[in-house]
A and B are shown apart, each in its own frame.
Chain A
């Protein structure tokens, strides 16, 4: 049924549309978001426009609360500012909250919804199936170590009562062989991780802290979205300057090297990784490369193109290249890629000027549903 409120609601959405986007951007761009990942929960704000009034600055105001604690202890929630606007009597309590805690899965859904990201189409590759034993059933034979005490006792008790040997005054039950019950197991077949993201980052001297922060935020969102799409996603991290090496997640975001840039080194390593661990028949593979685009030489760029064409592209779902703008400007590499792979569907390039551009770039990367 259609509601009267729909018109007001859609007008509100239109008013905040710009605002929602900005809110989402600002909030995506907050580094501390990652810090709140703790219990798989993050807060997302519900769009809210407050009509300005003559009102009090709330920090000076404080309030009255209830509960334990001594003077100087922090107060649990935020102070509620006075009363709710037009208070309606009899509505449910606790209505002032404007932030919702959602799980990462939901967050991914919201991200998907806001950016209109398509669901990823599985490549339909054969899945790796892992077998796992689960003790779920009961049977009459088995090793003593799996004996089910309670069930055995019950059977024995039942037999004793039925045969009239049970004495409530002296309730000793002696189980016999046919009373014994044993746990039995079933093999469960579970599909395991069949997607891997290979993050590659340029850590040469020209990539500053801000650039790394951008990569960090962007990769968090990509991670969140892909994890929603694939159970048990794996991630691998490669950093490179003139040489490449594989590192763990922490190092990936913290390392800062100096020196030149040879992008081909990273691609070589990535191709190696894929060959050794992720046969493309079984894996959905997502290499993401972030750099400021300043490659050492044209020759190296050509090597990269070769590598991509021959080694990487045939095996992956998608190859994404994000060029972060550094204080030294934006490099040539993105243009080269565009030139060589402009028509190639599986290659996506995106320029990320600053934090505000992250959202657009995520949409670039994931908008095709690969």
Chain B
């Protein structure tokens, strides 16, 4: 047990339940990490929730803000946190003291789903502390027992003590102000960087232009010509050479999305500042998989809690209580997608479709609605399929592949938008394409704009040039200004960002004293 864990053990009757539930879960094929359940009072719960699930974090006022919000909503009876579980090995899950036994069982079942997901979904491989710099094959595992080092409870606590010792030295106001700056840059990371080799080792520049190597797809000899056709390879080579010549002397040589990394490597930071920026970056990456799989993760946990509760765990005296609580969690209100609901329904629809064989060419080509309605090949592949999906997908691919027109229609999905005329949000469309597109847009890069470092020596004056890859939505102007100030604080030279505003190209610049906006920028 981690030494930083809260010393709040589970009462005996719940330990019994835990064992039962774990057994049932494993019987269904779930494969969770060992899980430590702890029982917390509501204020401890609010505290830990405010810290993002970790009993020890670095000191920062925003945790206090979160705490206030949670405890106020608890006091006013608006919401209470039933459960919390953190992605770690072993995983830690918290139960709220004073909940009914039915609730506790529900939470345990739900947690089993989450912990199985943490362990088996590929995206979470990025949080393995022993996985190395890049995880190129997240699905492959050596041997049966997969027990990665994911001691994030300890790691977060270590971050905490590191920051505390910096605070002792420099004082909380100075340190906290710098943390604020770092946090305002927190989303400038590259969510997929752990899975892709982004930086190819640069060729020796001195020996003149080196050979350009065109990456090939793996192919057997006799397929080589078809898979990597030579004229295509030639074309690619020319393209890469042209790129290389153009990029020559550029810094960084390629656009980089991991702006925090770029700053860590290149910004003139003091040692303690570098330490803090690096901590903020590590933690930002830790939360990435959870944001990439919010819908799936909640859906998967709900899928299993409902199955386990109704089939195995509840007795007849508990089923109504369970149903009521479950209904509360699944409730939808217009204007908001409930990730629990969307996720669980998608998983159920996948299970049904694969059980009945409603997939593949024949199904796609069938245009007879009546036949489709009664389509049942009795394949029984549902279970297998959902387990495969939980391992190999993230929210974007999940929704892209399994959100069908029938599903969107059945669940009354719509898109909405701001109406300038009526000064309110209005339903825009119920068309399947529009709905799906909007959902995917929102999930891509989890709702953050795509921003890259373009040039670390802009105008040959040591200024930093960022580029916003505009995909239809403008940056929020006042926040962009503030963020630029933060960047200047770190980069210590003027910083610019090139973006679009009202479909016109603009360059926002902050030189440390003054913000300026230049139109028709490069």
Q: Which residues of A contact B (CB under 8 A)?
A: 3-5, 7-13, 15-16, 46-49, 51-83, 86-95, 97-98, 100, 102, 106
Contact = CB atoms under 8 A, between A and B. Distances in A.
Contacts of B170: none
B196 to A, nearest CB: 22
B246 to A, nearest CB: 27
Contacts of A53: 184-187, 448, 479, 483
B484 to A, nearest CB: 9
B336 A100 contact: no
Contact of A68 (B76, B111, B412, B438): B412
Contacts of A102: 76
A68 B332 CA distance: 11
Contacts of A74: 422, 424-427
Given A9-B64, A12-B65, A63 B476 contact: no
Nearest to A73: B427
B491 interface: no
Given A5-B64, A12-B64, A93-B340, A63 B333 contact: no
Interface in B324-352: 329, 331-342
Nearest to A106: B76
A117 B79 CA distance: 29
Q: B interface, how many residues as a size bin?
A: 35 or more
B78 A100 contact: yes
B429 A71 contact: yes
Given A54-B480, A65-B416, A73-B427, A60 B287 contact: no
Contacts of B439: 64
Contact of B335 (A56, A59, A61, A77): A77
Contacts of B244: none
B379 interface: no
B294 interface: yes
B114 A89 contact: yes
B85 A71 contact: no
Contacts of B274: none
Contact of A57 (B55, B83, B416, B477): B477
Contacts of B178: none
A111 B385 CA distance: 56
B53 A88 contact: yes
Contact of A87 (B183, B287, B424, B427): B287
Given A46-B68, A92-B80, A93-B340, 4 more contacts: A11-B59, A82-B447, A88-B49, A91-B84
22 contacts: A3-B43, A5-B46, A8-B64, A9-B67, A11-B61, A12-B64, A47-B68, A54-B475, A55-B187, A57-B473, A60-B474, A64-B337, A64-B435, A64-B438, A65-B413, A65-B427, A80-B335, A80-B336, A86-B291, A88-B290, A93-B329, A94-B336
A312 B422 CA distance: 52
B442 A57 contact: no
Contacts of B63: 5, 8-9
Contact of B337 (A56, A63, A89): A63
B416 A56 contact: no
B482 A5 contact: no
Contacts of A97: 73, 78
A78 B85 CA distance: 28
A57 B417 CA distance: 12
Contact of A55 (B61, B85, B479): B479
A81 B176 CA distance: 27
Given A89-B294, A94-B79, A52 B184 contact: yes
Nearest to B414: A65
Contacts of A75: 334-335, 416, 424-427
A73 B283 CA distance: 41
Nearest to A7: B59
A3 B47 contact: yes
A190 to B, nearest CB: 29
Contact of B49 (A8, A73, A80, A91): A91
B430 interface: yes
A47 B65 contact: yes
A61 B442 CA distance: 9
Contacts of A63: 335, 337, 415-416, 438, 442
Nearest to A95: B79
B474 to A, nearest CB: 5
A78 B451 contact: no
Contacts of A93: 329, 331, 338-340
A80 to B, nearest CB: 5
